[in-house]
Amino acid sequence: MSSVLVEPLELETLVNPASDEPAASLATDLSMVGHVRVSLTAILGDVELPLAELMDLKAGVVVALDRQMDEPVTLALNGKPVATAHLVAVGDHFGVQIEKVL
- Give the per-residue pLDDT at 57: 94
How far apart CA 26 and CA 40 sit, in angstroms, is: 19
What local confidence, expressed as pLDDT, does residue 76 receive? 95
88 by Cβ neighbours in 10 Å (0-12 / 13-18 / 19+) ranks as: exposed
Going from the first residue of the chain to its last (102 residues), give the mean pLDDT of each consecutive group of 10, the final group possibly shorter.
68 63 59 86 93 94 91 93 92 91 92
Whether 87 is covered by a domain: the verdict is: yes
What range defines the domain where residue 84 resides?
A: 38-101
Q: Is residue 44 part of a domain?
A: yes
Q: Which residues pair with 95 in a beta bridge?
A: 88
Q: pTM for the whole thing?
A: 0.61
Task: Confirm whether 92 is domain-assigned.
Answer: yes
- pLDDT at residue 5, rounded to an integer: 72
DSSP string covering 49-63: --HHHHHT--TT---
The tally of domains found in the chain comes to: 1
pLDDT of residue 2: 65
